[in-house]
């Protein structure tokens, strides 16, 4: 919330080009197979061959003010296959052909050395971000194999995979984002960067923002709601009953109106004319000057836009592929696969609202209560609001047993309807907090954890909102790049290529639920927790 400046001083507010923020400061690039042709253990500058379009693509990033770093595993040094001087000559040749880089991070070790720098460990992403004067969350890593993506995500950076013929199909399936070549990856970075910048920044009085649906949906809309709040005198949030607890935690919201919307709810009541009339009257009473209606891509903003027109709201912004007629003043379109928080930020930007400079576009909640358990612990959250996104209980039991056997203290969390599940899972060695936390208390418990193991469900986004690393057991029913916990250190597990992929199923359509049954190895979960808590792969 801002304090309205004195009349005539509006230009000092959020709005001008000087006060817009950016998603990214730097792009980190893998070397072999991404910038230059992969010549195994190359110590010869004469063999350096840039990939097609690389120079021009890198120059576009430089022109956009993005800093560039190279992040490369060079185990040929450990193996004695070339010398440091030879490698330096190769790098001088790369800069001669591709232009200067602001930082080079080189891991000289080999597999088995147990270093924290060799990808997929995240050490070089952290080091590059520090050397470039930024944080991993403000970096994009572009690479050609799964190790590049794992290192990027484990550091909290954005990852874009540019596959080559040798990239394994499972690595392509698991990648958060895929581009066909380096120029296409650069297009994507610049497009995402531009999409969240308001082209016509505005200030407003009362703005009604709308995000129906569940807690996770409300949490991922948080950055966009803060962007609106930065330019509005007052923000009223219309949410559904399942999102109410999350709405209470969002910074920037002055008032909450809770109403189930039958065209949004997954289990809707029949449309009741009296209810629609009552909602229209309630919306009229809000007295909003304008409205920004946030939706998922499978939801329509138009029924509510009609009611907002009936309620006299003067300016309405929403994403709509369907023709809106006179229902929308700002009709925004977004390509598929954009992370949900950025998708919402891009609608806010289209409506004229951007985050103030210096405010990170991360998920956030108001300071949660202090954590209940003392000392280091890992949270295991076995439930999921959608059954297709839940691991079977017996797998969770194995995960908790594996974590406790590795010396981790485990806290098991769950909602009031999940207590049978949490007590069964916690019996394998964890403290059972199932049913004993509201969403705010859960945020406190998550905030005190060193790491959270959870499926694609609300608490994964709550963990992101309190900045805690996530081991995501991610059913591929929806796109990972769109729904992964945003801008937080992350390891993705589960079979990304399982037949349920992109089905949007709420109940797994595949016998045996393979994506999160055979697809999740408890030992991999323990290794992922180790990677996220120590930075070292084992």
Residues in touch with Zn ion (CB under 5 A): 107, 109, 115, 117-118
- Name the minimum Å distance from CB 109 to Zn ion: 3
Let me know the angle formed at the C-alpha of 44 by 41 and 46, rounded to the nearest 5 degrees.
130
CA distance 305 to 303: 5
30 is catalytic: yes
By CB neighbour count within 10 A (0-12 exposed, 13-18 middle, 19+ buried), where does 196 fall?
buried
By C-beta, is 78 or 190 nearer to Zn ion? 78
What would the 3-class secondary structure string for 319-370 be? ECCCCCCCCCCEEECCCCCCCHHHHHHHHHHHHCCCCECCCCCCCCCCCCCC
**HSE toward the beta carbon, residue 188, CA cutoff 13 A:** 25
The catalytically annotated residue of 22, 25, 32, 289 is 32
CB of 283 to Zn ion, least distance (A): 58
Cβ count within 10 A of residue 472: 26
- Sheet of 470-473: strand order equals 431-432, 410-412, 378-381, 451-455, 470-473, 490-493
The burial of 503, by beta-carbon neighbours within 10 Å (0-12 exposed, 13-18 middle, 19 or more buried), is given as middle
Structural contact between residues 439 and 462, judged by C-beta atoms closer than 8 angstroms: yes
Least distance (Å) between residue 103 CB and Zn ion:
16
CB of residue 491 to Zn ion, shortest distance in Å: 19
- What's the closest the beta carbon of residue 120 comes to Zn ion, in angstroms? 11
What whole-number distance in Å separates Cα of residue 26 and Cα of residue 302?
Answer: 38
Q: Which residues pair with residue 140 across a beta bridge?
A: 27, 158
Compare residues 117 and 445 and give the one whose CB is closer to Zn ion. 117
Closest to Zn ion by CB, 108 or 287: 108
Measure the CA–CA gap between 114 and 525, rounded to whole angstroms: 18
Question: CB 118 → Zn ion: shortest distance, Å?
Answer: 4
Instruction: Please confirm, yes or no, whether 322 is among the known catalytic residues.
Output: no
C-beta of 61 vs 151, nearer to Zn ion: 151
Answer whether 147's CB lies under 8 Å from 73's CB: yes
Select which of 25, 30, 59, 187 is catalytic.
30
Of 118 and 315, the one with the shorter C-beta distance to Zn ion is: 118
Nearer to Zn ion, 118 or 501 (CB): 118
| 24, 126, 443, 444 from 122: Cα distances, Å | 18, 6, 26, 26
**H/E element, 68:** strand 67-73
Phi, psi (degrees; rounded to nearest 5) at 393: -55, -40
Q: Which is nearer to Zn ion, 128 or 508 (CB)?
A: 128
**Least gap, CB of 536 to Zn ion (angstroms):** 10
**Residues annotated as part of the active site:** 30, 32
């Amino acid at each position: 919330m801002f304090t309205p400046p004195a009349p005539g001083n509006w230009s000092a507010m959020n709005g001008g080009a000087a006060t817009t923020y950016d998603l990214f400061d730097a792009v980190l690039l893998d070397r072999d197979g991404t910038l230059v042709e992969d010549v195994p253990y190359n110590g010869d500058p004469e063999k350096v061959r840039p990939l097609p379009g690389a120079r021009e693509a890198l120059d576009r990033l430089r022109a956009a003010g993005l800093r560039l770093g190279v992040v490369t595993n060079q185990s040929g040094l450990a193996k004695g296959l070339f010398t440091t001087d030879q490698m330096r000559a190769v790098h001088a040749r790369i800069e001669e052909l591709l232009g200067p880089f602001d930082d080079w991070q080189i891991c000289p070790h080999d597999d088995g050395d147990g270093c924290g720098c060799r990808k997929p460990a995240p050490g070089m992403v952290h080091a590059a971000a520090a050397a470039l004067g930024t944080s991993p969350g403000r970096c994009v890593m572009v690479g050609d194999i799964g190790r590049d993506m794992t290192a990027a995500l484990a550091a909290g950076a954005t990852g874009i995979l540019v596959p080559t013929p040798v990239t394994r199909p499972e690595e392509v399936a698991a990648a958060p984002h895929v581009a066909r070549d380096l120029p296409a990856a650069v297009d994507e970075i610049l497009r995402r960067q531009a999409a969240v910048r308001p082209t016509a920044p505005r200030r407003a009085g009362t703005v009604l923002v709308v995000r129906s649906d569940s807690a996770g949906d409300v949490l991922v809309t948080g950055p966009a709601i803060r962007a609106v709040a930065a330019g509005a005198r007052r923000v009223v949030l219309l949410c559904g009953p399942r999102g109410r607890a999350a709405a209470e935690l969002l910074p920037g919201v002055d008032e909450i109106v809770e109403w189930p919307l039958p065209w949004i709810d997954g289990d809707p009541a029949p449309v009741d004319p009296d209810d629609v009339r009552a909602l229209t009257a309630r919306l009229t009473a809000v007295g909003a000057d304008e409205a920004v209606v946030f939706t998922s891509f499978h939801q329509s903003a138009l029924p509510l836009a009609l009611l907002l027109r009936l309620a006299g709201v003067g300016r309405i912004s929403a994403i709509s592929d369907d023709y809106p007629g006179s229902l929308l003043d700002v009709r925004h379109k977004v390509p598929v696969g954009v992370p949900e928080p950025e998708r919402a930020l891009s609608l806010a930007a289209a409506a004229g609202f951007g985050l103030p400079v210096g405010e990170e576009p991360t998920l956030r909640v108001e300071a949660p209560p202090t954590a209940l358990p003392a000392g280091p612990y890992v949270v295991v959250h076995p439930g999921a609001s959608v059954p297709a996104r839940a691991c079977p209980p017996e797998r969770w039991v194995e995960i908790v047993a594996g974590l406790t056997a590795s010396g981790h203290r485990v806290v098991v969390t769950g909602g009031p309807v999940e207590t049978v599940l949490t007590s069964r899972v916690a019996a394998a060695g964890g403290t059972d907090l199932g049913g004993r936390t509201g969403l705010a208390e859960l945020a406190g418990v998550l905030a005190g954890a060193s790491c959270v193991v959870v499926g694609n469900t609300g608490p994964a986004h709550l963990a992101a909102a309190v900045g805690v690393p996530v081991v995501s057991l991610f059913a591929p029913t929806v796109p990972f790049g769109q729904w992964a916990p945003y801008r937080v250190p992350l390891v993705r597990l589960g079979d990304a290529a399982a037949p349920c992929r992109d089905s949007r199923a709420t109940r797994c359509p595949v016998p045996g639920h393979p994506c999160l049954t055979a697809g999740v190895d408890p030992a991999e979960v323990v290794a992922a927790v180790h990677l996220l808590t120590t930075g070292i792969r084992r």
